[in-house]
Chain A
Amino acid sequence: MKVYAGNFLKDVVAKLLDDGYRVYAPVKEKNYHVFKAVENADEVDFDYINTKKSPKDVTFPENEVLIKYGEWVEEIPAQADKTAIVGIRPCDIQGLRLMDRVFLEDITDPYYEAKRKNLLVVGYACNEAGDYCFCTSVGLSPFKSNYADIIVTDLGDKQVVEIQSEKGEVVASKFNLSDASDEDISRKKELEQKVLSSFVRSVNTENLKERMAEVFNSDYWKEVAENCVSCGTCTYLCPTCFCFDIFDDGELKGVRIRAWDSCQFPLHTLESSSHNPRREKWQRLRNRFYDKFYYMLVRKGEFYCVGCGRCIAGCPVGIDIAEVINNIPSEVKQ
């Protein structure tokens, strides 16, 4: 464990920009923060709990050209510049890991792979839980993630720098780091205790799969969906929602684009035969909860929820994933 006497995160942004990286870092806009490609380290502001949107668009952009067509098809080479995300929270690092599992396992998605291979991940341990945070309920830690190349903990006057990969080592070697003292280590531990005690929300995941299997056909899901407007804000903000649509833009020549889609939209699954497997909004909303805590658990062996709480913060009608899961009835109401 190393320490840096100063603001490592800010200095690493400057260094990476000098080295020709495209750097995504948190920028303050109005009263919130978002990840943006920055040109100067002074644009960056690390005083935030988490960003309004997850940085999933760094490897999976909202819109992306797959091929061009005209006389025939032109392949768009899957390539990417050296890119870094600096200041990503542990929940979003888990989001990135879960996205990697979707796009890189089985058949490799070449567009995603190109961006991912060239990505450096500098994580930022949390100093405080947000109002909607519940990462500890889904098995995550707010100050650790082995999946980052480097993870930084802010102690106020200095920052603890944990180097977790060769890629991270190469970058960290350009900084004047010293070994963490016993005092630094105990200050970090104290901070972690403080963070853990700042959580106000939790989700009961005990036997969740079995409990969800029991109540699949319960009217509970209709009640939960009563006020849902199928706007798709939840899936848009979710760091692990990966569904996309593909469409052609241009009649004789043009581009084939993929763009984020949402299982909350009725057209997502509508077939040309007029058959729609999830015609009703309560079926679509139920699908989101089951996908996060049941279907993806069956497919990948882990929850596809990282506990960031963005879907709670963003929902215009107050649907709260933590409450919805906690209130699953123990008996099937018909």
Chain B
Amino acid sequence: MSSVFDEPMKNPYLPYKAEIVEIRDEVKGVRPIKTFKIRLIGRERFDYQSGQGCLVSVFGRGESWFTIANSPTRPDLEFSILKTGKVTTKLHEMEVGDVVGIRGPLGRGFPLEEWKGMNIITIGGGIGQTPLRSIYQYVIDNEKDYGDLTIVYGARTSRDLCYKDELFELKEQGYNVELSIDNQEPDWPYFVGFVPDNLKRIKPDPKDTIAITCGPPIMIKITLGVLKDLGFKEDQIYTTLERRMKCGIGKCGKCKLESIYVCRDGPVFRYDELSRLLEEA
């Protein structure tokens, strides 16, 4: 597990100073999503793994956990943030040049080293695409180390899809990108239906393949069933869990799921680590 907090560290509650260097609109409307590119001030960006998160501070409002949306092979830190609470509302009002605090990288990421030589399929829904984007960017940047890459992604409507331009561009370059929306819209040339249904249609071969799924809990649940029907074993399936988090370092107990601290032991889990718990994760 590599994390900045495994280095001899100072105060783990003390954020790094950082500034917003770019803001992109992903989704507009009443539940908008923006992607913020953030650069640390006065120090190099720390190394991290896809799937790890940071606590972003807006002083006076608090801190919220976001999974890092870009690959460690790319510059800066990106976070795709849905406007939903008091920290994220303030973030959505902020502009390029504004200062925020960053604590991270936190938690356990995806074992991308372990997956070398494997085919990778990411299955995402809505804003759950965030950690998966970090994975596919990483795999694309280290293409020779991995087998086939398949990106399955869907949202309620075409307006709710994140990273549209990037995904259409990858599709044009010949990457296997399978998009879907829940209901038919004019000029939508791709699959119409729920993400697990699209997965059933695509029928990925479980041989030497790792499947990573992230999205709303109900989508994850149905996707797991589809993957199992396709012959995927529990140790070939990964997901990330969402919990309320405060300290980010496995102390405050908010994200505790039985004996697990999601912020510290996760948020990435292999499915067999979750299926043996008493409680439904």
Contact = CB atoms under 8 A, between A and B. Distances in A.
B122 interface: no
B204 to A, nearest CB: 28
B165 interface: no
Given A244-B252, A246-B247, A73 B88 contact: no
B60 A250 contact: yes
A30 interface: no
Contacts of B15: 67, 73
B88 A243 contact: no
B257 A72 contact: no
Contacts of B24: none
Contact of A107 (B5, B17, B99): B5
B244 interface: yes
A248 B17 CA distance: 17
Task: Give the interface SS of chain A, mostly helix, strand, loop or mixed.
Answer: mixed
A27 interface: no
Contacts of A298: 258-259
Nearest to B83: A272
Given A73-B15, A275-B217, A109 B251 contact: yes
Contacts of A261: 252-254
Q: How large is the interface on A (under 10, 10 to 19, 20 to 34, 35 or more residues)?
A: 35 or more
Interface in A246-273: 246-248, 250-254, 256, 258, 261, 263, 268-273
A296 B259 CA distance: 6
B11 interface: yes
B30 interface: no
Interface string B222-250: 00000000000000000000111011011
A69 interface: yes
A110 interface: yes
B243 A216 contact: no
Contacts of A111: 13
Contacts of A72: 17, 99
A79 B59 CA distance: 24
Contact of A110 (B11, B85, B279): B11
A78 B9 CA distance: 14
A272 B62 contact: no
B5 A295 contact: no
Interface in B203-226: 217
B74 interface: no
A66 B253 contact: no
B124 interface: no
Interface in B1-41: 5, 9, 11-15, 17
Contact of A75 (B14, B99, B258, B264): B14
A296 B261 CA distance: 11
B61 interface: yes
Nearest to A105: B250
Given A213-B278, A271-B242, A263 B17 contact: no
A254 B60 contact: yes
Interface string B251-279: 11110111100001000000000000011
Interface in B75-110: 84-85, 88, 99, 101
Contact of B12 (A69, A107, A253): A107
A57 to B, nearest CB: 16
Given A213-B278, A216-B278, A272-B88, A247 B62 contact: yes
Nearest to A276: B244
B160 interface: no
A105 B101 CA distance: 26
B60 A251 contact: yes
Nearest to B41: A72
Nearest to B61: A248
A56 B169 CA distance: 57
B236 to A, nearest CB: 25
A75 B278 contact: no
Given A75-B14, A295-B259, A298-B259, A107 B250 contact: yes
A248 B253 contact: no
Q: Which of B242, B249, B279 has the most CB of A within 10 A?
A: B279
A242 B253 contact: yes
Contacts of A78: 11
Contacts of A174: none
Contacts of B14: 67, 73, 75
12 contacts: A67-B15, A109-B12, A242-B251, A242-B253, A246-B63, A246-B252, A256-B13, A261-B253, A261-B254, A271-B243, A273-B242, A295-B256
Interface of B: 5, 9, 11-15, 17, 59-64, 84-85, 88, 99, 101, 217, 242-244, 246-247, 249-254, 256-259, 264, 278-279
7 nearest interchain CB pairs? A243-B253, A298-B259, A272-B85, A69-B59, A299-B259, A216-B278, A251-B60
